[in-house]
Structure 1
Amino acid sequence: MKRPFASIKHLSQFPEEEEEILFSVGSVFRILDVNDRRATKGHWFVKMMMVENDDDLNELRSQLNQQYSRYGNFCDLGSALIGMSDYDRAERYFQMLLEYTPESKASFGLIPNFLGIIYANRGDYQKAFEFQERALKFRTQESSIQYNQHHIANTYVHLGAVYHHLGQLDLALKHLLIAVELRSPTTSLAFAYNGIAITYRDKDNTRLALDYFLKALDIYENVLKRDKYHPELATTYNNIGEIYSHLGAYDDALNYWTHALEIRLKGIVATHTDLAAIYHNLGVTYLETKRFYKSIRNVHESFRNR
């Protein structure tokens, strides 16, 4: 047994009333059932099973390790904070690194890049643009261009996203296409394809938008095969569903939205607004196809999750 446990009932202050078990640090449990008994006994009862070898958990741990330990330097901690949406601490951390990291270090360019990501996630796109421009300027210095090729591509991806949020669609498209030409890292390439698709969609070119969404999905499905409930997959499925709906291909739209809903319901990162949007899309499309009962049911779920 990797993580032993033992009864400590004999050490309890109330040995006749409590069945206390001491578990090893790092023990993992799978929740089987949650029962609300507050009305009668004042407690929640949670039924759990101790997990010894959980392949799903091991795969998730491996993927998180890969995702948040990719830089091999101080940026990994800040990257994890961003992944947790803890933008205040992430900002303080990267501002500290910005102050104390010499520009002679090859990893310096990552710092303004991450600060740009933080400000973009907060909706401060002007500040995000300033930091991404600073990152690009550092990375395109002649002495480091070869070493920084994939970092340069990644920065173009983020600049494209910022331009899109600023309403400058042509500049967004230009920067995202440069990122593709520079052969972005795999996940960044998917992000670039997704950004290109969204930009074409907003320029009312739905056919090209669909092509690029499908390219992004192909990469995500391969890269995230260990995490089939990753929110990025749900977002891409939802976007493709919207394109098919716009093209009048309602059965295809319903298929992609159903996939998106399944991921949102089973994944660990989902907000009520995410669910409400998908239920709304399903409800409207079922109405278009005259499946009224399903339409009413999904519209009801949409309102329930707002």
Structure 2
Amino acid sequence: MNNQSTKIIPDEVETLHKQGQKYQNYRCYKSALYYYEKVITQIESIPQGNYDVHQLKYHVYLEMADCYREYKRLKAPKWVSEAEKLAKQLQDEAKTAMYLDRRSNIKRLDGDCKGALKGFKDSLDLKLKSSRGENIDVSNSCNNIGVMYTNLGKYREALDMYKKSLKKRSRIKGENDAGVATLYNNIGGVYYNQDKYDKALLMLKKSLKASWTTFGKNYPSIAATYNNIASVYHNQGKHDDALLKYNISLKIIQEQLGDNHPNAAKLYDNIGGVYDNQGKYDDAVSMYKKSLKIRLATTGNNHPSTTQSYRNIATIYRKQSNYTQAIEFYQKSFDSLCYLYGENHPQVVKDKQILDQCRLLKSKANTSLWQDCSKSE
């Protein structure tokens, strides 16, 4: 008699699942979703009611939600809801906490910081009930709550949660860990927002050291830390140091994510800001136009980040008294913002006022030029 237990999940389904996870790790979300959808289709042909089947189904739902959150965000909540149904069916607190984290992350990305904060707190409560001793999931929840407090400008509460998370995580993982690096970076960000630049730099350099040990020196998260260090130097008026770090960050992004990645656009904006503060306006315009080119290619004309690029360029032309060009780019910002938010939005009203000022200044400049020409004749 063969006593070997029957395998519930076929090898073919497990292989499809691993393929999906591989593509998700590579950030190839469309390909990952292709395999996850195949897994769901195959699961439907397996006898339902088995715990292993529910487990796999639950995790695939969450993985699909994660992919859609990065790829087509509006579809993400559907799969979180599917995971929620299974978690309730299984009466599993740990799984309930997992789908709460996903839902809260979607709310965070949608700008609902208070809703996200409540969800992350509910998730933490469940994790504390079901965990014993040190738990990495508890550390993650503390970090998530810290991020929400940071976004809400509650820096004391944010620091408290980040430090709790760091204490738990470093005990479990040690100092040379990607999550520890992220926490140092987040703490540095709070100090930066509080204008405590020396403390910010100390934390950011600890983040850099932990990231180097974990990933090497050319990983996208390391580029983010270089960017943050550069921002501190920029605010301290150390323009050359800021430019050096911004350019290191830009080089990593270009090598790892490509020339047209949105993060490259952000870095061109930041470099342009340094040149602007140095009075190097032609260099600033050059950087802002590189950023604009990427934004038009990746997010299109009618997007808040694109309108910001238009305003950055217009502001430099205004400083140069090049009112014709300033009017052209302020007008583009104004038109896009009207499309996005309507004519009564505060930024739309502000752009309209600046447009009117530029037109008036252009008119005065033309009148003065005409009078000078008349005198010379």
TM-score of Structure 1 vs Structure 2, range by shorter chain = 0.5 to 0.7
Shift of 1:219: 2.5
Q: Is residue 68–residue 76 contact of structure 1 (8 Å, CA) maintained in 2? A: no
Q: Secondary structure at the match of 2:211?
A: coil
Which residue of 287, 294, 300 maps to 2:325?
294
Q: Which letter maps to 2:329? A: N
Counterpart position of 1:65: 67
Task: Summarize the alignment of residues 1-306 of structure 1 with structure 2, pairs less than 5 Å apart.
Answer: 59=28, 61=30, 65=67, 74=98, 75-101=101-127, 102=131, 103-141=133-171, 143-145=172-174, 149-183=177-211, 186-225=219-258, 228=260, 230=262, 232-268=263-299, 274-287=305-318, 291-302=322-333, 305=337, 306=347
C-alpha distance in structure 2 between counterparts of 1:203 and 1:62, whole Å: 44
After superposition, the Cα gap between the structure-2 partners of 1:198 and 1:288, relative to the gap in structure 1 and judged at 3 Å, is same
1:177-228 deviations in whole A, cap 9, x for unaligned?
Answer: 1111112653332221111111001100000111111122222334433x93
Shift of 1:80: 4.2
After superposition, the Cα gap between the structure-2 partners of 1:60 and 1:233, relative to the gap in structure 1 and judged at 3 Å, is farther
Q: Which letter maps to 1:282? A: I
Q: Which letter maps to 2:326? A: S
Counterpart position of 2:364: none
After superposition, the Cα gap between the structure-2 partners of 1:252 and 1:193, relative to the gap in structure 1 and judged at 3 Å, is same
Q: Which letter maps to 1:111? A: S
C-alpha distance in structure 1 between counterparts of 2:187 and 2:170, whole Å: 14
Q: Is residue 153–residue 183 contact of structure 1 (8 Å, CA) maintained in 2? A: yes
> After the TM superposition, which of the residue ranges 114-123 and 155-164 deviates more from structure 2?
114-123
Greater Rg over alpha carbons, structure: 2
Query: RMSD of the alignment, in Å?
Result: 3.4
C-alpha distance in structure 2 between counterparts of 1:68 and 1:284, whole Å: 32
Q: Is residue 299–residue 306 contact of structure 2 (8 Å, CA) maintained in 1? A: no
Shift of 1:107: 2.7
Shift of 1:132: 0.6
- Which consecutive unaligned segments of at least 5 residues does structure 1 have? 1-57
> What is the aligned length?
243
C-alpha distance in structure 2 between counterparts of 1:240 and 1:279, whole Å: 16
C-alpha distance in structure 1 between counterparts of 2:28 and 2:325, whole Å: 36
1:261-297 deviations in whole A, cap 9, x for unaligned?
Answer: 2344444499876445433331243355565422331
Shift of 1:172: 0.6
C-alpha distance in structure 1 between counterparts of 2:297 and 2:270, whole Å: 19
Q: Which letter maps to 1:108? A: V
After superposition, the Cα gap between the structure-2 partners of 1:59 and 1:188, relative to the gap in structure 1 and judged at 3 Å, is closer
1:34-91 deviations in whole A, cap 9, x for unaligned?
Answer: xxxxxxxxxxxxxxxxxxxxxxxx956369739869xx99255544443343433422
> After the TM superposition, which of the residue ranges 88-97 and 236-245 deviates more from structure 2?
88-97
Q: Which letter maps to 2:250? A: L
Question: So what's the TM-score if we normalise by structure 1?
Answer: 0.67
Shift of 1:122: 2.2
C-alpha distance in structure 1 between counterparts of 2:115 and 2:300, whole Å: 20
After superposition, the Cα gap between the structure-2 partners of 1:165 and 1:282, relative to the gap in structure 1 and judged at 3 Å, is same
Q: Secondary structure at the match of 2:118?
A: helix
> After the TM superposition, which of the residue ranges 115-124 and 292-301 deviates more from structure 2?
292-301
After superposition, the Cα gap between the structure-2 partners of 1:167 and 1:288, relative to the gap in structure 1 and judged at 3 Å, is closer
Q: Secondary structure at the match of 1:153?
A: helix
C-alpha distance in structure 2 between counterparts of 1:98 and 1:269, whole Å: 38
Which structure has more relative contact order (CA 8 Å, sep 6+)? It is 1
Percent sequence identity over matched residues?
25
C-alpha distance in structure 2 between counterparts of 1:271 and 1:155, whole Å: 34
Could you say which structure has the higher strand fraction? Answer: 1
Q: Which letter maps to 1:212? A: K
Question: So what's the TM-score if we normalise by structure 2?
Answer: 0.56
Q: Which letter maps to 2:163? A: E
